[in-house]
Amino acid sequence: DAGVTQSPTHLIKTRGQQVTLRCSPKSGHDTVSWYQQALGQGPQFIFQYYEEEERQRGNFPDRFSGHQFPNYSSELNVNALLLGDSALYLCASSFVDRAEAFFGQGTRLTVV
């Protein structure tokens, strides 16, 4: 079992550009959540996907959007990048009715 895998591991983008981050959940998991972790802080919830629909959303602007595919993998898209979007983006997968979640190693996004 490969666990939760995220790609790419590192990414550098220019302010104003768009970025897509990808997540493959742990085998069998049907729910994917995305978190933003700024340097020196705890992760902040962005949104959660289940059955290809956004179920919950944290306090993030519409520039942040996502998608879940039939195989449960997910993408996080960020438009019109700002310097403040620089962070580690973590993907977590779980069964929808279970408490525990497993995290990927994250994608480090740097906006210059």
* Binding footprint of other proteins on the chain (CB under 8 A): 31, 33, 35, 40-45, 48, 50, 55-56, 58, 88, 90, 92, 96-97, 99-106, 108
Measured from the CB atom, is 82 or 96 closer to other proteins?
96
For residue 58, the minimal CB distance to other proteins (Å) is: 7
Q: In whole angstroms, how close is the CB of 70 to other proteins at the nearest point?
A: 19
Q: How far is the CB of 68 from other proteins (least distance, A)?
A: 13
Nearer to other proteins, 24 or 31 (CB): 31
* Min dist. Cβ of residue 100 to other proteins (A): 6
What secondary structure does DSSP assign to the chain, as a single string?
----EEE-SEEEE-TT--EEEEEEPSTT--EEEEEEE-TTS--EEEEEEETTEEEEE-S--TTEEEEE-TTS-EEEEE-S--GGG-EEEEEEEE-TT-S--EE---EEEEE-
Select 15 or 47, whichever has its Cβ closest to other proteins.
47
